[in-house]
A and B are shown apart, each in its own frame.
Chain A
Amino acid sequence: MIDFFRKQAYLIDFTLSSLLRRKGKNFGLLLVYTLIVFMLASVMLFTHSLRKEAGIILQQSPEIIVQRLVAGRHALIPSDYIEKMGRLRGVTSKKPRLWGYFYNPVVKANYTVMAPDHLELSTMEVIIGAGIARTIGLGIGDYFTLRAQNDTFSFEVKDILDKDSELVTTDLVLISQKAFRIITGIPEGQFTDIVLSVRNPREVRKVAEKLVQKLPDIRPVLREEILRTYDSIFSWRQGIVFVLLIGALLAFVIFAWDKASGLSAEEKREIGILKAVGWESGDILHMKFWEGVIISLSAFILGYLAAYLHVFYSSAVLFESVLKGWATLYPQFRLVPFIDGLQIATLFFFTIFPYVVATIIPIWKASVTDPDAIMR
């Protein structure tokens, strides 16, 4: 047994010397390989943690949001819809809400303006999200301006929402209902949507079905649908994630193909010499197995650790510009790390196993050939 380990240690020593003889090529390979693992691991860690966090915090989102649709688009809902809904078994409350969007052309930022009925705000006061305060450079007591209709309105910043909640509140502007109606021009008796609370979660779907039967122009959005949407957010099937994944996989296939399609003349000569000085085919295969393991395991370790630091210690800074798009407001948040062992094991398997196999096959072909023929 000791002999076996000693032999492997010598083989690893020899493999490392052989790798270091082609420093440039092998370090380049390691760098690209590490970047591929880094990118895949970053996407995996980011999406999994985001999904988990969304699942936890959006568990408190409204059970049913009722929207009115006109010509396929979301429209204002009249308050008499509450009476039209009638008495619904299991529904404990029906609250109309006022909210909307505001574009500030000066800072090119979109705000979500809400007018919650339970907040004690005068018509001249607002509470803003930390993202807005940071972008415009506002503090408590400063004046926040909204240009609407034909007028400009200034509000005193009463409070700034907690920085910890930026992931959900970065662009929020909380305002009184009266002020909201003045700046938007939405008349009394009209609301953005209606929120229903249902006592028993198992009755939610039934309530939604009854609502649609009574009022065919409404669309209920259920909490379970909100949770399902965020559970499949950044699915591998769509858009940029798919492009990234395909890009990474293609790069990997090129690597493997390059390795599998043939050895360099230098590598062939090395195998020939080793065979000529008495190495067996098995020893050469062992040596090349170690070469594959050293490169792929190093790339996995470095790529995964870099991805962990990127996602959980630098707020996934590389994804920021992709998610931000044309927007100027972006939440500063530190995701709570949730690691899915199965995902990491899958990444480990798919990054290490194909590479080791792709390295071994051409070597096996060369190592069973006559050394004289290889060296010629």
Chain B
Amino acid sequence: MIPAMRKSALVLLFFITGLLLILLTVIDASTRQSLAAESMNSRAMLVSELGLSDLALSTEARYTRHLTLADRHSAFQDHPTSFDHFPSGSIFLPPSQLTHD
């Protein structure tokens, strides 16, 4: 019969397993990076071929779909004091060229 483990041993086992799993995420990340190198290259090729400038994360508004091409007045598209209609407008920062002089 296997003797019952002490509670401290169980906790130690849990922590060691957890830390090993965290280490495994690092190994998993580096494996997936090398596996994805080819598909990332093909995405980059497509970006170059079509001249794309943005990620298609948010397609609801033109200034969040093409974040980098937004102008200073994009968010106030209806009149100068109108509020932003789209939820994604509150998530993304304006493009860097509008925030850096």
Contacts and interface: CB of A to CB of B under 8 A. Distances in A.
Interface of A: 8-10, 12-13, 16-17, 50, 53-54, 56-62, 65, 67, 69, 72-74, 95, 97, 101, 109-110, 112, 114, 116, 118, 129, 131, 161-162, 164-172, 174, 193, 195, 219, 221-222, 225-226, 228-235, 237-241, 294, 297-298, 301-302, 304-305, 308, 312, 322-327, 329-331, 336-339
B35 to A, nearest CB: 9
A61 B33 contact: no
B45 interface: yes
Interface string B42-56: 111111111111111
Contact of A116 (B15, B47, B50, B90): B50
Task: State the 9 A-B residue pairs at the shortest beta-carbon distance, nearest first.
Answer: A301-B18, A327-B60, A60-B48, A337-B29, A12-B8, A228-B96, A239-B90, A325-B87, A325-B88
Interface string B6-33: 1111010011001101100110110011
Interface in B42-83: 42-62, 64-69, 71-73
Contact of B53 (A65, A165, A171, A301): A65
Given A232-B93, A322-B91, A305 B18 contact: yes
A250 B26 CA distance: 30
Contact of A337 (B7, B9, B32, B96): B32
Nearest to A235: B93
Contact of A166 (B56, B58, B61): B56
B56 A171 contact: yes
Contacts, number: 222
B69 to A, nearest CB: 6
A72 B72 contact: yes
B95 A54 contact: no
Contact of A325 (B29, B56, B86): B86
B91 A240 contact: yes
B28 to A, nearest CB: 7
Given A116-B50, A169-B46, A72 B58 contact: no
